Structure formats: C-alpha cells, structure tokens
Amino acid sequence: MINLPEIRIRIREQERSYPIYIEQGGRYELGKLLRDWYQGDRVFLVSDHKVNSLYGQEIGQVLDKAGLTVVTYLLPQGEKAKSFSYLEKGYELLLENDFKRDHLILALGGGVVGDLAGFLAATFMRGLPYIQIPTTLLAQVDSSIGGKTAINHRKGKNLIGSFYQPQMVLIDPGFLTTLAPAEFRNGMAEVLKHGLIADREFTSFLLEKRDEILKLKLAELSRMIYYSCRIKAGVVTEDEKEQGIRAHLNFGHTIGHALEAVTGFNKYKHGESVAVGMIGAARLAQRLNYLEQAAVRYIEELLSSYDLPLSFQYAEDTGQIFEYLFYDKKVKANKLRWVLLKGIGSACLAEAVDEELVKDILEGLK
Ligand SMILES: NC(=O)c1ccc[n+]([C@@H]2O[C@H](COP(=O)([O-])OP(=O)(O)OC[C@H]3O[C@@H](n4cnc5c(N)ncnc54)[C@H](O)[C@@H]3O)[C@@H](O)[C@H]2O)c1
Ligand SMILES: [Zn+2]
C-alpha cells in the first residue's frame, strides 16, 4: 500500500480546511475515518446503478461495520441524473428517512453523482455535511475537488448550483481498475491540463510514465493523481470563487465547450473536446508569440501519447463554432478571455484576441 501525504484545501471565507486522502484501498478505511468525527447514526449514500453494482455491497459492509445505517439513493447513469427531478427525489428520500442537518451525505461515483449529491447537501435544510468518494479519473482529479456543485437546466449544463465544500475527499485509485478506457482517457485530458498550466516536471513525468499509467501501475497512478489533485487544490485554495487564478483551469475549455455544444454533446467526450481545445489554445499562443513552435509540438505529442485527439471532424462551417464560443457562462460583457500558455507549466490570460486569428485557428483544427 502506498501512503501519499494528505493534501488540504483551505477555504478562507469559511475559515476551515478539509483533507483530500489518496490511498489505494482507502475505501476500506471509510468507517475508521468517519468514526473519528461523525456522531450520527446514519448516512445517505448517493451513487449510480453501475457504481453501486460494482462497489455498493463492499461500501455498505464497511459502513455497517462502523455501526451506521445506510440509506441508498441510486441515480441512473449519465448526465440526465443532474436534473430537478432527481434532486427532488433525493429530498423526498432524505425527508422520509428523517435526515437532519447534522447527518451526512456520501457521494460515491463519478462527477455526475458528485455534482448532484453535493447540491443536495448544499441545499437540504440549508446544508448538511458531505464527503466525496470519486470513482472516475475525472472525478478524482477534477470534479470532486473545489466544491462546485450543480444540476443542469434544459438551457444549459451546470446552470443551477452552488459553491459548497465537502468535509473530506477520499480517493481510492483502486476504483479505476473497473473504469472503461474511454472514461480513463476522458480524465487524462484534465490531468494533462493540470500539468500544462502549472507544472512542467509533471508533464515530463506523464510522458515518461505513460505505459505504467495506462497499465494502471499503482505507484505511478497514485503519484499522478496526487500531483494532479495538488495542482487543483492549490488553485482552489487561492481562489475558491473563480475571480482570478481558478480561471486557468479553463485552459482548453473555451474551444472545448463550444465543440461539445455545437456537436450536440454526443459526438465528443468532454476530455476529447478539451484536448482539441488545448491544441487550439496552444496554437493561438504560438501565433501571438507567447509560445514556441517546439512547445506546441510537445503538447501534441503529450496528448496523442494518451490517445487524445488533436483535431476534430465537422462538416459545417467553423463560423458556427466561433459563435458558440460566446455562449459560455464564463463570458463576461461579450468578451472572450483566453487561457494561454507562456511555456509548458505556465498559464496566463489574454483578452481582445483578434477574431480572424481565432477563426483561422478553428479552421486549422478540422
Ligand atoms: N464540480 C466540478 O467542479 C466539475 C468539474 C468537472 C466536471 N464536472 C461534472 O462531472 C460530470 C462528468 O463526470 P464523469 O466524467 O465522472 O462522468 P460520470 O459520473 O457520468 O461517470 C462516467 C461513467 O463511468 C461509470 N463509472 C463511474 N465509476 C466507475 C468505476 N469505478 N468503474 C466503472 N464504471 C464507473 C459511471 O456509471 C458512468 O457511466 C459532468 O456532469 C460534469 O459537468 C464537475
Ligand atoms: Zn473539464
């Protein structure tokens, strides 16, 4: 077993901090971790059908051993679970089972489960404590960290939600052994993004240890998750509400989100769109003389070594994608704010980038 040092997120406004534990087999420690501070007699476990079929029983046993009654709320798989109706069903079940403000919610699953369970926790009785137990790579390195919770609205993704920090994040890399390769690649895009915006050495590690990581070798996998979480936790600690540096996490997401939206959210996975978006942003940075050609080639090599796409297929005019760039909820006063790189491991923001240049970059990505 590898024991990695604990990472902490410090939330200044609330004057508290919470730990992120990364440990192979960590799920078996859940009972012990809870006994240290939780006084309640029951927990509300939110998961989805797939994750529950794989891990529900053993997690149930761990909680049972800790003397806790478990009320399980199972969501369907996929994005449709982040809806008003599943939120409401969750409130109903909490009320039926007499949950109060000092009870605990556990989110066991990917980003979908984490986002819905987090929002449920944020809003039920004006907030009760919750713990993230992420089971996809994307959730382990990205969505479980930072306290963003949300559901979708028919007008767009994540339009309704809140910033609400968990009590703890418990990451067990062992969950990833059952994850589909496409879901692993999806999370890898965010891992690579973290390296590219903040840590050059980490990107070298990812390139060098690619085979071990893809074979889920424990030492390399755990280290990768650790570095990645440390970068995200560092950014979130500095800027919880995304007023400054947290925007760097949107590297690749400006074009990425537009690409997802214009293709109806079903052609490309989020990670694939972000990969194409990172290539677009890198080329843009190069055209603006922030980045050397060799660095762009390095990024291309890095992404393709993890089987992520460098271009996309789109029969229509890229002008449509350009329009979609402005639909993002992060666009302020109709001004695009680009996250670019000054070098590998160093991000910066740029506004007022020439529109023709952006259109040219989009055309080049086809
Ligand atoms: N809150 C944030 O800061 C934040 C950040 C990024 C993304 N998100 C959100 O996260 C969501 C995407 O999360 P995701 O990519 O984890 O998708 P997901 O939760 O839909 O999980 C993907 C699939 O993997 C399955 N799965 C989960 N764990 C598994 C395991 N260990 N073994 C086998 N199968 C497993 C799930 O059943 C699901 O079918 C989106 O809704 C997105 O908006 C939120
Ligand atoms: Zn993302």
pLDDT computed for residue 5 by the predictor: 79
The catalytic residue among 50, 185, 193, 246 is: 246
Q: What are the distances in angstroms from CA 120 to CA 11, 101, 116? A: 20, 12, 6
Whose C-alpha lies nearest to ligand 1, atom 21? 110
Is 89 designated active site? no
The catalytic residue among 209, 242, 287, 359 is: 242
Structural domains in the chain, sorted by start:
7-175 (3.40.50.1970), 182-364 (1.20.1090.10)
CA 65 to chain centre: 31
In angstroms, rounded to a whole number, what is the distance separating the alpha carbons of residues 41 and 172? 24
Is 194 designated active site? no
> Would you say the CB of residue 283 lies under 6 angstroms from ligand 1?
no
Is 242 designated active site? yes
pLDDT computed for residue 1 by the predictor: 41
pLDDT computed for residue 354 by the predictor: 93
Is 148 designated active site? yes
Phi then psi for residue 85, to 5 deg, are: -70, -40
What are the structure tokens assigned to 294, written together?
A: 């060799």
Nearest residue to 95 via CA among 58, 128, 133: 128
Is 257 designated active site? yes
In angstroms, rounded to a whole number, what is the distance separating the alpha carbons of residues 107 and 134? 7
Nearest residue to 248 via CA among 318, 309, 323, 194: 194
pLDDT computed for residue 167 by the predictor: 95
pLDDT computed for residue 13 by the predictor: 67
Is 153 designated active site? no
In angstroms, rounded to a whole number, what is the distance separating the alpha carbons of residues 175 and 67? 24
- Whole-number Å distance, alpha carbon 267 to ligand 2 midpoint, is 16
Is 208 designated active site? no
pLDDT computed for residue 229 by the predictor: 96
Q: Which atom of ligand 1 is nearest to the CA of 49?
A: 37
Mutate to test the pocket of ligand 1, among 20, 50, 177 (most ligand atoms within 8 A of CB): 50
In angstroms, rounded to a whole number, what is the distance separating the alpha carbons of residues 166 and 144? 9
What are the structure tokens assigned to 118, written together?
A: 């987090």
The catalytic residue among 82, 193, 223, 270 is: 270
Is 253 designated active site? yes
- Whole-number Å distance, alpha carbon 56 to ligand 2 midpoint, is 27
What are the structure tokens assigned to 257, written together?
A: 């989100």
Query: Are 251 and 341 a contacting pair, CB within 8 Å?
Result: yes
> Would you say the CB of residue 79 lies under 6 angstroms from ligand 1?
yes
For residue 95, give the H/E element and its range.
helix 84-96
> Would you say the CB of residue 109 lies under 6 angstroms from ligand 1?
yes
In angstroms, rounded to a whole number, what is the distance separating the alpha carbons of residues 114 and 302? 29
In angstroms, rounded to a whole number, what is the distance separating the alpha carbons of residues 353 and 336? 8
Whose C-alpha lies nearest to ligand 1, atom 13? 111
Q: What is the mean pLDDT of each run of 10 residues along the chain (366 residues)?
A: 72 81 95 92 98 98 97 97 98 98 97 98 97 98 97 93 96 98 98 98 98 96 96 90 89 95 90 98 97 98 98 87 85 86 96 93 95
Task: For 282-343, give the DSSP string.
Answer: HHHHHHTTSS-HHHHHHHHHHHHHTT--SS----S-THHHHHHGGGSTT-BTTB-EEEEEEE
- Whole-number Å distance, alpha carbon 274 to ligand 2 midpoint, is 7
- Whole-number Å distance, alpha carbon 309 to ligand 2 midpoint, is 15
